[in-house]
Structure 1
């Protein structure tokens, strides 16, 4: 079975591509969904945050206050590295388990939708790497428009990840998302239909 890592950068359109792959009948495992499940109250990632930061990262209902966590880790590179070293092994185990389930069900291909595919080293567990690419100007504009961030906030989040230019050098397949949604859909379906899945 082939494992394809799908990645991009914040506001690159990776989730849109993942949705298109699902609509085309592909199996896609969403790394962010795994992380959200593990961050539910009492789960492993939730416990990591509470042990490290205490009640200040919790809402009144004991759910994780994701904005409070983001405010800590996006302002301190060292803190982000520490959290990632604790969280990523948990996510890796779940991704491998999902791949094994797919393999046992006879799947020929599975996509792992992983925003930090290269940063985490998860790319080394894949057979092929797909990147959803946008220009830096498009990425910043989309993030400001989508999330209402200031330019500084947008740049801080963009710069917390490996640049898309660097990722492009490591990718096997590059899907350019500087155009409209139909141009994106055509590229995705072409890749799928050309047997690259």
Structure 2
């Protein structure tokens, strides 16, 4: 099974590419979805998060208060590292469990927003695919999707790896600026044909 690390900045269109790869027959392990599961009410990460950051980080339903944690973590590398220290081992365990559960597929895609930042994923996948877009495009998409103010979106982008850093780590880059869905799908199909051939595994 060919293991692909898929990454890109917020608003790049990475999730759309992941869905298109699934449609072609790939399995998908979504680390964001796993993190949400771990920080949902009763999630495995919540006791350690409350212990590390205080009970105010839990919402009334017992889930992570994401807005409060985002406010605390922005501009504070120590907080981000402590949070990652709680989440990343649990995410890693669940990723491997889900990978085994997918069985025999031609490709398994790991959707990892912080693939470049983590430093550990390069050794866990065969290829890295980056979905790239300009910062202005990212901001426009996220504002339309989430309703966040522009300064919040740009603050998130500033905390992520730069476009240059992601491209430097990539085996392939999809430049998803003004591509329509059909054109984006053709890009994904082209990569599929190149990478899934037995000689490239």
TM-score for both structures, normalised by structure 1: 0.90
Three-state SS of the structure 2 residue aligned to 1:110 is strand
- Paired position in structure 2 for 1:133: 132
Higher mean alpha-carbon deviation, 29-38 vs 144-153, is at 144-153
Q: Which whole-Å CA distance do the structure 2 matches of 1:48 and 1:150 have between them?
A: 31
TM-superposed deviation, 1:6: 0.6
Deviations 1:52-83 (A, max 9, x none): 22232222222222212212112422211221
- Paired position in structure 2 for 1:68: 68
- Paired position in structure 1 for 2:13: 13
Q: Is the 8 A contact 1:135 1:178 kept in 2?
A: yes
Matched pairs, number: 195
TM-superposed deviation, 1:196: 4.2
- Paired position in structure 1 for 2:26: 26
Q: Which whole-Å CA distance do the structure 1 matches of 2:194 and 2:122 have between them?
A: 22
Q: Is the 8 A contact 2:6 2:130 kept in 1?
A: yes
Q: Output aligned runs, 1:56-95, within 5 Å.
A: 56-95=56-95
Q: Is the 8 A contact 2:26 2:106 kept in 1?
A: no
Q: Which whole-Å CA distance do the structure 2 matches of 1:95 and 1:171 have between them?
A: 21
Q: Which whole-Å CA distance do the structure 2 matches of 1:33 and 1:161 have between them?
A: 18
Counterpart among 104, 107, 110 of residue 108 in structure 2: 110
Q: Is the 8 A contact 2:40 2:64 kept in 1?
A: yes
Q: Which whole-Å CA distance do the structure 2 matches of 1:45 and 1:184 have between them?
A: 36
Gaps of 5+ in 1: none
TM-superposed deviation, 1:183: 1.9
Moved over 4 A (4+): none
Three-state SS of the structure 1 residue aligned to 2:104 is coil
Deviations 1:112-157 (A, max 9, x none): 1111112112222111000111012211222233222233211110
TM-score for both structures, normalised by structure 2: 0.88
Q: Which whole-Å CA distance do the structure 2 matches of 1:110 and 1:148 have between them?
A: 32
Q: Which whole-Å CA distance do the structure 2 matches of 1:62 and 1:81 have between them?
A: 22
Q: Which whole-Å CA distance do the structure 2 matches of 1:123 and 1:45 have between them?
A: 25
Q: Which whole-Å CA distance do the structure 2 matches of 1:106 and 1:196 have between them?
A: 13
- Paired position in structure 2 for 1:119: 117
Q: Is the 8 A contact 1:58 1:64 kept in 2?
A: yes
